[in-house]
Structures are given as C-alpha cells and as structure tokens.
C-alpha cells in the first residue's frame, strides 16, 4: 500500500509538474505575445506622439499667426474707433474751426496786402454759415463779426485799380517820350506875307483900307528879296541853338545809354506799381520821385507827351496809401473763446 501510495503520489507529482510546466510555457507564450503587442503599441504610440508634436508645432505657428492678425485687427479697430470719434465730433465745432481758418487767412491778407474786399467776403461767409445753425450761442460771435464788418466798411476807399491803370498808361508812353539827347531842331514857320495898304477916304469921310497897287516888276523884285532874306535868316537860325539845360551830361547820352535809361524808368514805375499793390507807402513814393527826377533830367519837358506823363505821375503821387488797416481780432477772439468753453 505504501508503494502504491508512493506511486500514486509520484504520478500525481509528475502530473502536477507537467501541468505546471505547461502552464508556465503557456504563460511565457502569452507574455511574449503581450510583449510583442506592447512593443507594437509603443511604436504606434511613438509615431502618434511624433505626429501629435508636429501637429502641435503647426498649431502653435497658426496660433501665433492668429495672434498677430488679432493684434493687427485690434489696432485697426482702434484706428477705426478713433476715426469714428473724429468724424462724429460736434458739427458746430467743425463749422467754427472752418470759420476760424477763413478769418485767420483773411486777417493775414488784410494786413499784408490790404485786401479789404476779400476780408469783407470772408466775414459775410462766416456770418452766413453761423446763421444757418440758428443757435443763440452764436449771437456773440455774430456781433463781433458785425463790428469788424462795420470797421472795414468805414475805411476810406483807395482806387488801387485806377492808380495802377495810370501807371500802366505812363509806362506805355515811355518809349515815345523825346529825350534831350535826341531832340531835333524845329524849323521856324515861314513869315506871313502882308500886303501894303493905303488909306483912302470914303463918301462919309471915314478912312478905308485899300491894297496898294504897284507895278509888276517892282512887286516881283520885292517878293524875290523877301524870299531870299527869309531863307537866309532861316539857315542862320539853324546854325546856332541856345537851350537852358540844368544837366549838360543829359545831352551826351549814347543810343545804348538812352535805351537803358528808358528801361530803368519803366522798372521804376513797375516797382511803384508793385509797391502800390503791396501797400508799401515808402517804396511807392521813392520810386515815383525817382521817375519824376529822371523825366526832368533826361527828357524834354517842353513836349506835350512828357508833360502828360508828368501829370499822370503827379495824379498817382497824390493818392494816399497810408491807411491803417484794422484787424479781425474781435471775430477771431469770439470764435476761439467759444471753442475753449468746456
């Protein structure tokens, strides 16, 4: 029985050993299979991780691009908002800004060039723009504009156009004025023939003039003598001429010098015209005085054309340009004070 028991136990141990060995082998195979599957899974996971990393990099680049575009869009939005705020300002503020610029320009033109009509037009346009708003807040500004308008209308008028036309007329006649250097001698007029008359008495006793009858040969001899003596006297008078000239050097001008003298006189009158338009009283008077002195010194003042030009220059010189121009400070200050209010 003991032997049978041992044999049975041995058989059981052998079966147990074989079963354990089979289970171990099976477990090894399963572990190997799982390890293979794990390696494959790890490889797939690595590939997936790499693809995820690449996708992450792409996403980061796209996010950076989107952030830059978002910042650009935000800056554009801010600019649009600022522009909208600028455009949505008060309409009256824009109108007052425009009126201030117009009045400032008109004031500068008034002080520099004496442009009174332009300043009046600017004031009238400003008052018309304010009248369209029809707001009581603009009454102070309109009163200031009315005061400046009255000041400009009260100024004495200067006929700048008429004075400029007279200067242009004088300039146009400079080339035709006779000069002392090129004066031609004037031939004396032939003496008038007078018939001798003898006095006879009429029926009423009053003296009556009657032409004296002479013989033909004596009349021919007398006419010949008178003609020869008058021609001889005319020739003698042409040999010597006596003229009173204050500046003898004016008679010694060459044709070239005379040409440049006329051009210099034209330039003097043109400078006077420019000084007239710019309301430069000192330059205007100085150029006119220099032109008149040149006329007296180098030109024949006995000629009617020279006297005409001198009369034109005297008329021009009598014009008064020394007019103090007012400023548009009342209107400008009223507009600026209204804009400065909170």
pLDDT tens, 29-68?
Answer: 888 888 888 888 888 888 888 888 888 888 888 888 888 8
Residue 244, pLDDT > 70, answer no
C-alpha–C-alpha distance, residues 307 and 303, integer Å: 6
CB 212 within 8 A of CB 195: yes
Q: Where are the domains of the chain?
A: 91-155+326-340, 160-182+245-317
Residue 196, pLDDT > 50, answer no
Closest CA to 135 of 93, 87, 100: 93
- Two structure tokens written together for 36: 């293979």
Average pLDDT, the chain: 77
Looking at the domain 91-155+326-340, which fold is it? 1.20.120
Percent of the chain with pLDDT over 90: 3
Q: How far is CA 110 from the centre of its chain?
A: 15
* H or E element at residue 262: helix 255-277
In the prediction, which pLDDT does 211 show?
Answer: 46
Residue 11, pLDDT > 70, answer yes
In the prediction, which pLDDT does 186 show?
Answer: 46
CB 183 within 8 A of CB 300: yes
Please tell me the pTM assigned to this model. 0.45
* H or E element at residue 89: none
C-alpha–C-alpha distance, residues 134 and 285, integer Å: 49
Q: How confident is the model at residue 188 (pLDDT cuts 50, 70, 90)?
A: very low
Closest CA to 321 of 291, 261, 279, 267: 279
CB 313 within 8 A of CB 296: no
* Alpha helices (runs of H) in 114-215, residue ranges in sequence order: 116-133, 139-153, 160-172
Q: How confident is the model at residue 247 (pLDDT cuts 50, 70, 90)?
A: low
C-alpha–C-alpha distance, residues 237 and 231, integer Å: 10
* H or E element at residue 207: strand 207-211
On the CB side of 253, how many CA atoms lie within 13 Å of its CA?
Answer: 20
Residue 179, pLDDT > 50, answer yes
Question: What mean pLDDT is predicted for residues 258-262?
Answer: 88
Closest CA to 272 of 289, 247, 293: 289
Considering only the C-alpha atoms of the chain, give the largest distance between any 2 of them, rounded to a whole number of Å.
232
């Amino acid at each position: 029985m003991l032997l049978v028991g041992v044999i049975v136990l041995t058989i059981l141990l052998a079966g147990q050993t074989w079963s354990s060995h089979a289970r171990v082998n099976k477990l090894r195979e399963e572990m190997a299979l799982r390890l293979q599957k794990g390696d494959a899974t790890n490889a797939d996971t690595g590939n997936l991780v790499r693809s995820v990393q690449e996708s992450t990099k792409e996403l980061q680049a796209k996010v950076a691009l989107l952030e830059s575009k978002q910042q650009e869009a935000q800056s554009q939005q801010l600019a649009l908002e600022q522009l909208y705020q600028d455009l949505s300002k008060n309409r009256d503020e824009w109108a007052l800004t425009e009126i201030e610029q117009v009045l400032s320009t008109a004031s500068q033109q008034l002080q520099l060039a004496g442009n009174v009509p332009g300043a009046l037009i600017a004031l009238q346009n400003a008052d018309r723009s304010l009248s369209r708003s029809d707001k009581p807040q603009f009454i102070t500004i309109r009163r200031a504009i009315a005061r400046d308008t009255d000041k400009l209308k009260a100024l004495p008028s200067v006929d700048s156009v008429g004075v400029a036309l007279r200067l242009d007329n004088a300039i146009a006649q400079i080339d035709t004025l006779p000069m002392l250097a090129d004066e031609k001698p004037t031939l004396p007029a032939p003496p008038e023939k007078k018939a001798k008359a003898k006095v006879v008495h009429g029926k009423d006793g009053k003296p009556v003039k009657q032409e004296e009858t002479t013989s033909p040969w004596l009349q021919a001899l007398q006419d010949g003598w008178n003609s020869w003596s008058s021609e001889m006297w005319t020739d003698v008078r042409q040999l010597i001429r006596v003229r009173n000239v204050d500046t003898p050097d004016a008679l010694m001008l060459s044709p070239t010098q005379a040409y440049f003298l006329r051009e210099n006189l034209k330039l003097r009158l043109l400078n006077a015209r420019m000084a007239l338009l710019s309301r430069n009283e000192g330059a205007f008077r100085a150029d006119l005085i220099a032109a008149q002195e040149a006329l007296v010194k180098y030109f024949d003042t006995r000629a009617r054309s020279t006297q005409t030009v001198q009369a034109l220059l005297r008329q021009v010189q009598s014009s008064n340009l020394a007019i103090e121009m007012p400023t548009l400070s009342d209107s400008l200050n009223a507009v600026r004070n209204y804009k400065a209010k909170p």
